Structure 1
Amino acid sequence: MLVPAAKAQDSFFPIWGDEAEKLGYTLPKPYGLSISYMDMSNPITVDSIVLRGHPLLEAIDVDANKAHFTGSNITVRGDVWIFPFMNVYGILGYTKGESKAKINSVSCDQAKFSKWNLGCAVVNAVGSRLPESAEFNLKMDGGTYGIGTTLAGGVGDWFALLDMNYTYTSISAIDGDIRTFVAAPRIGHRWQYDSGRELRVFVGAMYQSIDQYLSGDLASLGLPSVVNAVVDKLAPDASFEVSQHSNQKWNGTLGAQYAFNRDWDVLVEAGFGDRKSMFVALGRRF
């Protein structure tokens, strides 16, 4: 991640590496490859739920504005130190998750029909008396890819860095995507030992903006049976569109990285607050 106590290997990268060494800085090997696993839990806001396929469905309003997302991903990351203070990397991985939202009520807008509609009246009659267990459940998984950069610096054994990345996940089970931007400032201290071993402990914060756009077969949404019964009779091929985003963008982080030598290191980081996460990575430098 940062500054192992050894000379950088001969390479075109990092640019200005020789100048940095002459000033007394120690540099990591320029190229890196790591594999990581992350588990996360995050409250989200449902911006809209739109039903398609029949005029009656399009008149239905589903009140379920709060949801909870849990998920995990495994990624492979390749990186290079372009400058002594700037690392750039690419991400390729797999993400899976589940979003659950309690349905407060289901209603139908009679004003959207030229005359009184029986189906709409039925929805209104039962939609306000849903059981406590009524919820919609979205299960999603797909490939993730993205790019990022880390800006780093330090004084003595103290260091600071800012990591930023953007990832895109294409959902395979249903149509849609997850777009995530992350910015994570951290500060920490390092301890150096024999044989190139090094321990770094850091604290920080993480800004994470997540936007999810999902659509698919209405039967897979897990709506109450009264809505599904209406759907089966009116439009068996009915669909849905859901837009939702993370409503807690900042959380705290605490982590540590241990370098076994100049080649191998392991990183563990925990996120706490309304959004919780656990991140583990094994890295190799070249």
Structure 2
Amino acid sequence: MRTPLLFTSCIAFFITACSSSIPYEEREEIRQSIDDESEQLIEELAEVYPEIHAQLEEAEGYATGVMSNIKVPLVGGGTGIGAVYSNVDDSTTYIDLYRYDVGAGLGLSSYRMISILDTPENLEKFSKGFSEPSWGTDWNISTSGIETEKLYYLEDSEIPTYLVFESSASAVGSARLMSVSVNEELTETGVGNAKFANHESTTEKSSPQWDRPLPFFAQDVVDKGFSLPLPFGISILYAETKQDMTITNLEAGMSFIDSEQTTVPINSVTFDNNYSHSKTPQLKIDAWIFPFMNVFATVGKVNGMAHVEFESDGSVANHIADNSLRCNPLFPGAEPGKNCDALSKATGWGPKGLDVDLDGWNYTIGATFAAGWNDYFLAIPASVSYVDMKNARAEELVISVSPRIGKQIPLKGMSSVDVYVGVSYLDSNLTINGEHYINNIPSLEGEHIDYKIEQENIDKWMGLVGASYNFNRSWAIQAEYGQNGSDKRQFVSSLTHRF
């Protein structure tokens, strides 16, 4: 039997392999080491438990692993790596092992294990990955040897498990969470660490097998050396945008002149210092339909305001009075009266500022076209958004295209940082309906002008920078900032889960 020092060195090697991105050219060597470790463990156990060979042959499969644990008075944990060998289809799935402890006690242990997967359910669970809480105590072992207790409880049912401890351990009353996850790189599923399809293979020896429903044609690009992200995603986003706007197509009408309150085009009103400022939390879902094409949809709540400043020389009122049938004494049923006289003699008003509340819902559909090469990537998201404001007082159509180029920087374990720069094209068209109450004409106090205007953003292009921190293949946070001078600014942040 090997010495504890030798086995401790193996654990350090395996843990290092399990906690970092593994290059293609190193994977076969690591897989072979795990397989050799498993065979060696079986032979060692067979010297004490000869029946283990029959158990392994009759079972659906078995799982092996090496673990290293540490326990302090209240918390503890461990990591390891192993493999699941299926007797059903002779496949091998390489796995990462994690354990988290809460409870009284002290301890430091390292051990090897074999779990007999005697049911199809247990084989599938270990092959797909799982997390299970449990309660129990650790064994007290003072020297290297084989633990006499062969049942180890990971869930409600008992899974026969052989353990070989390489160092002493002691803990009592520990609540545990045991987690098993597929090591995508060693198993070669084609799933990578990058957010986009990333070409990283430099050898023809690898043969990943993509077994997920999406994207279509995934196996074709995986065979060419690309790794792919997990196909589905759900995100929580927050976007804040402020931009200057230009006003066009003003229409206005007098509520007391036209009983139907219709508006007519007006060309005699000038506008200045117009902008919109919106804040939008959103929920996003997405899927990689093709290896280089992701489609997404979002829904969000819009809060903000549109600021409009305008002034008139009086011709807006003159125009309405001159063209209103009610002000024409030759028209049957006309009521010229003092309102028409006041309007025809109006001298206008100075600058007026209106703040229109933007309160409604945002709906977006779009697609991202992206690909990577050795951790560099190019991504081009394009989307169309419709904003439906509450009470139908404003509605907006937004078209956006944001090409960006960046690089993924690997960190410890499965974590990484993406940094990128790019440009954004955003075309926003906002239609606002509202009223302006008249206060400077005594005879018209309390009356109002109905109006309709269209706003369009002035600066459609802006530069942007962004970064995301990827905790692992499943979780990431992102922040992005864009600006064009002092007139246009945008900030976007998100939390994403992929599966």
- Of 213, 222, 240, the match for 1:39: 240
Q: Give the SS at the match of 1:136.
A: strand
- In structure 2, the CA distance between the partners of 1:203 and 1:231, relative to structure 1 (3 Å rule), is farther
Mapped pair 1:2 → 2:192: no
Determine the C-alpha separation between the residues in 2 that align with 1:256 and 1:29. Answer: 20
The within-5 A match list for 1:62-101 is: 62-101=269-308
Please give the alpha-carbon distance, in whole angstroms, between the structure 2 residues aligned to 1:215 and 1:177: 9
Question: For structure 2, which runs of at least 5 residues remain unmatched after alignment?
Answer: 1-194, 201-207, 323-327, 330-335
Q: List aligned pairs for 1:140-155, cutoff 5 A.
A: 140-155=358-373
Q: Distance in 2 between matches of 1:225 and 1:38?
A: 38
Q: Which residue of structure 1 aligns with residue 231 of structure 2?
A: 30
> Is it true that 1:262 corresponds to 2:473 in the alignment?
yes
Checking the alignment, whether the CA contact within 8 Å between 1:16 and 1:84 is kept in structure 2 is: yes
The 3 A distance-change label for structure 1 pair 192 and 224 is: farther
1:199-226 CA-to-partner distances (Å, cap 9, x unmatched) read 110000111111111224x1xx5x6632
Quick one: which amino acid aligns to residue 271 of structure 1?
Answer: G
- Listed one character per residue, the Cα deviations across residues 163-197 of structure 1 (whole Å, up to 9, x for unaligned) are 00111111104433111110000001111133221
Which segment is superposed worse, 180-189 or 97-106?
A: 97-106
Aligned to 1:197: 415
The structure-2 alpha-carbon separation of the partners of 1:227 and 1:139, relative to structure 1 and needing over 3 Å to count, comes to farther
Counterpart-to-counterpart distance in 2, 1:59 and 1:79? 43
Instruction: Give distance in 2, aligned partners of 1:262 and 1:157.
Output: 14
Cα distance, 1:123 vs structure 2:
3.0
Deviations 1:149-171 (A, max 9, x none): 00001222211011001111111
2:488 to 258, 275, 278: 275
Report if the CA contact (8 A) 1:268-1:279 is conserved: yes
Deviation string 1:25-68 (CA, Å, 9 cap, x unpaired) is 11110000000001111000111332223559869743225411
Residue 309 of structure 2 contacts residue 354 of structure 2 at CA under 8 Å; is this kept in 1?
A: yes
Identity %: 23
Picking from 401, 418, 439, the partner of 1:225 is 439
Q: Report the Cα offset of residue 143 of structure 1.
A: 1.1
Report Cα offsets for 1:235-283 as digits up to 9, x if no partner: x6x5321211111111111000111001100110001113101110000
| 2:402 alignment counterpart | 184
Paired residue secondary structure (2:346): helix
Q: Which residue is 1:136 aligned to?
A: 354
Question: Is 1:161 aligned to 2:379, yes or no?
Answer: yes
The structure with more radius of gyration: 2
Q: CA deviation at 1:121?
A: 5.0
How much has 1:14 moved relative to structure 2?
Answer: 1.0
Does the 8 A contact of 1:251 with 1:272 survive in 2?
yes
In structure 1, stretches of 5+ residues that fail to align are none
Report the 3-state secondary structure (helix = DSSP H, G, I; strand = E; otherwise coil) of the residue aligned with 2:212. Answer: coil
Could you tell me which amino acid in structure 2 is paired with residue 276 of structure 1?
A: R
Shift of 1:122: 5.0
The alignment's TM-score, normalised by the length of structure 1, stands at 0.85
Structure 1 residues 76-85 or 59-68, which shifts more? Answer: 59-68
When residues 9 and 232 of structure 1 are mapped into structure 2, their CA distance, relative to the original with a 3 A threshold, is farther
CA 1:162–1:186: 2 relative to 1, 3 Å:
same
Any conservation in 2 of the 1:140–1:174 contact (CA below 8 Å)?
no
Say whether the 8 Å CA contact 1:97–1:140 is kept in structure 2.
yes
Cα offset for 1:23? 1.6
2:312 matched to 1:105? yes
> Structure 2 vs 1, CA of residues 59 and 75 (structure 1 numbering), >3 Å: closer, same or farther?
closer
| Residues 189, 59 of structure 1: alpha-carbon distance in 2 compared, 3 angstrom cutoff | closer
The TM-score with structure 2 as length reference comes to: 0.50
Instruction: Give, in whole Å, the separation in 2 of the partners of 1:8 and 1:255.
Output: 33
Are the equivalent residues in 1 in contact too, given 2:197–2:292 (CA < 8 A)?
no
Let me know the Cα RMSD of the aligned residues: 2.9
Q: Secondary structure at the match of 1:34?
A: strand
Q: 1:148 to 1:253 in 2, by over 3 A?
A: same
How far, CA to CA, are the matches of 2:385 and 2:288 in structure 1? 20
In structure 2, do the counterparts of structure 1 residues 198 and 247 end up closer, same or farther at CA, with 3 Å as the change threshold? same
Equivalent position of 2:390 in the other structure: 172
In structure 2, distance between residues paired with 1:140 and 1:96: 5
Matched residue type, 1:137: D
Distance 2:441 2:429 in 1: 27
Residue identity matched to 1:283 = T
Which residue of the other structure, out of 240, 249, 270, is the alignment partner of 2:460?
249
Contact 2:214 2:289 in 1 (8 A): yes
Q: What secondary structure sits across from 1:225 in the alignment? A: coil
Counterparts in 2 of 1:8 and 1:73: CA distance versus 1, 3 Å: farther
Distance 1:186-1:43 versus aligned 2 partners, 3 A rule: same
Q: Is the 8 A contact 1:8 1:29 kept in 2?
A: no
Corresponding residue number in structure 2 for 1:285:
498
